[in-house]
Amino acid sequence: MRRIRSITVAIAGLAAAGLALAACSSNGATPSSTGSGAQGAASEVEVFTWWASGSEKLGLDAMVSVFEKQHPDVKFINGAVAGGAGSAAKDLLQSRLQANNPPDTFQAHAGAELTDYIDAGQIQDVSALYDQFKIRDVFPKDLIDLLTVDGKIYSVPSNIHRANMVWANPTVLTAAGLDPAAKYATLKDWFPALDAVKASGKTALSVATTWTQVNLLETILIADLGATDYAGLWTGATDWKGAKVTTALTDFQKLMSYTNTDRDGLDWPDATQQVIDGTAGFNIMGDWAVAAFEAAGKTAGTDFTYFPVPGTDGIFDFLADSFTLPVGAPHEDGAKAWLETVGSLEGQTAFNKAKGSIPARTDAKATDFSEYQQTAIASFAKDTIVPSLAHGAAASIKTLNAISDATSKFTTGASDLAAFQSELATAAGK
């Protein structure tokens, strides 16, 4: 329990750290490459991610173009495995790590998920690279704490995402008789709007396969439990079998009744695309979704709108991607070169502009980013930060897998609400 408790404590401190990002970001700091060099003999680097297509690949491509400029002697090998949230990549990665066949570097979420790899002895301490690249002081301290065990830092963060957002199509809402600018303070306030979209013949709420349903579930737990009790689910302080969780699961069940029935065959870009195309009114998804709207040439405000999941305003459901140096990486020099680019201001700026996330570096310039991203930077600075379940911040991969199995059973009708709640409690080890 020590590990999860310390992560939650660190998450709580991230809000203060965010102030630094917001403050520094308006002072006109100029981007510069670290140039401190992990160069060496010509080499290559296999970079393992799940950013295989669409807007996620555009983000990766942007990082790669900075990498190729900073390290022209190192060949980039794309080891991406399709499947949002690493739904296929993480299993494949585990098989490779266990077979001593690691990629040169892989994507991992800050928090409990990264700690899994550390505990298994699968990744190396990269503290020395923080000194070499002069990046010890450029990230929020509480984010670094999520990457650190026993004083050793195990990865370089690339970005921070927010998982509790609703994306909406104003044309669909207007056609359903709704005010597209309406705000919904609570889930209860939101349900009539979902009813209206449903009555208009469109999908009210689009969702995709299991991991996106877990993403939806965590936002409803946050809405109904509030930040403190939601965080307590991961420390043992909140009872999974309690009445508040029952309320959240009841709301989750209701929300699922508004969703598209083909959901289990879709991944997140398909569900978000339904809102882009105007076949659905709303989609709950992390803010990588904004990059999909932008890549489709859509403009915020007119073509799409966004707001925190009703009941979660003032709460930032946090996750961060980071890159590791696996034990036995075949091309360590290549991996170190990649980590240098990931940690650089130029790499973070290019990547995050395309990815929809905000830079992990506190010296990035807010005005380099989109309208939505500037709201995320502001929210990160002032909101209460809670750890995402679906994206590795709150719970270990084993716990997440067990929660995902229970969720899939429930949403496919193989369990009832009481069984679901009890399976969640077992999955969380509570």
- Binding ligand GAL (rule: CB under 6 A), the pick from 110, 202, 391, 399 is 391
Question: Could you tell me the smallest distance in angstroms from the CB atom of residue 289 to ligand GAL?
Answer: 9
Q: How far apart are CA 234 and CA 322, in angstroms?
A: 21
| Piece of 16-24, 82-90, 171-179, 371-379 that binds ligand GAL (CB under 6 A) | 82-90
Q: Decide if residue 126 touches ligand GAL (CB under 6 A).
A: no
The H-or-E segment that residue 105 falls in is strand 105-109
Number of residues that bind ligand GAL (CB under 6 A): 14
What are residue 304's DSSP bridge partners? Answer: 300
Contact call for residues 323 and 338 (beta carbons, < 8 A): yes
| Piece of 48-56, 309-317, 342-350, 405-413 that binds ligand GAL (CB under 6 A) | 48-56
Question: Could you tell me the smallest distance in angstroms from the CB atom of residue 345 to ligand GAL?
Answer: 19
Question: Could you tell me the smallest distance in angstroms from the CB atom of residue 159 to ligand GAL?
Answer: 7
Q: Decide if residue 317 touches ligand GAL (CB under 6 A).
A: no
- Binding ligand GAL (rule: CB under 6 A), the pick from 106, 288, 304, 316 is 288
Q: Decide if residue 268 touches ligand GAL (CB under 6 A).
A: yes
What is the phi-psi region of residue 109: left when phi exceeds 0, alpha when psi lies from -120 to 50, beta otherwise? beta
Q: Decide if residue 233 touches ligand GAL (CB under 6 A).
A: no
DSSP state, 237? -
Written as one letter, the residue type at 37 is G
Please report how many Cα atoms fall inside a 13 Å half-sphere around the Cα of residue 139, on the Cβ side: 30
What are residue 126's DSSP bridge partners? Answer: none
Contact call for residues 389 and 317 (beta carbons, < 8 A): no
Between 157 and 311, CB nearer to ligand GAL: 157
Between 117 and 184, CB nearer to ligand GAL: 117
Question: Could you tell me the smallest distance in angstroms from the CB atom of residue 391 to ligand GAL?
Answer: 4
Q: Decide if residue 56 touches ligand GAL (CB under 6 A).
A: yes
- Binding ligand GAL (rule: CB under 6 A), the pick from 85, 176, 315, 335 is 85
Q: Decide if residue 410 touches ligand GAL (CB under 6 A).
A: no
Contact call for residues 329 and 114 (beta carbons, < 8 A): no
Query: Whose CB is nearest to ligand GAL?
Result: 84
Question: Could you tell me the smallest distance in angstroms from the CB atom of residue 344 to ligand GAL?
Answer: 18
Question: Could you tell me the smallest distance in angstroms from the CB atom of residue 86 to ligand GAL?
Answer: 6
The Cβ of residue 297 has, within 10 Å, a number of other Cβ atoms equal to: 8
- Binding ligand GAL (rule: CB under 6 A), the pick from 17, 18, 50, 280 is 50
Question: Could you tell me the smallest distance in angstroms from the CB atom of residue 292 to ligand GAL?
Answer: 10
Question: In the stretch 90-109, what mask flags binding to ligand GAL with x, by CB under 6 A?
Answer: -------------------x
Q: Decide if residue 321 touches ligand GAL (CB under 6 A).
A: yes
Q: Decide if residue 161 touches ligand GAL (CB under 6 A).
A: yes
Contact call for residues 254 and 176 (beta carbons, < 8 A): no
Cross-sheet strand order for the sheet of 280-285? 203-206, 280-285, 165-168, 305-308
Between 56 and 251, CB nearer to ligand GAL: 56
| Piece of 83-91, 117-125, 328-336, 377-385 that binds ligand GAL (CB under 6 A) | 83-91
Which string of DSSP letters, residue by residue, matches 38-95? ---SSEEEEEE-S--SHHHHHHHHHHHHHHHHH-TTEEEEE----SGGGTTHHHHHHH
- Binding ligand GAL (rule: CB under 6 A), the pick from 60, 81, 187, 319 is 319
DSSP state, 241? T
Between 48 and 240, CB nearer to ligand GAL: 48
The helix-helix angle for 2-25 and 112-119 (nearest 10°) equals 130
Contact call for residues 321 and 359 (beta carbons, < 8 A): no
The two structure tokens encoding residue 328: 């036995």
Between 144 and 389, CB nearer to ligand GAL: 389
**Collapsed DSSP state (helix, strand, coil) of residue 167:** strand
Q: How far apart are CA 86 and CA 19, in angstroms?
A: 30
Between 57 and 71, CB nearer to ligand GAL: 57
The two structure tokens encoding residue 68: 């190729």
Q: Point out which residues bind ligand GAL (CB under 6 A).
A: 50-51, 56, 84-86, 109, 161, 268, 286, 288, 319, 321, 391
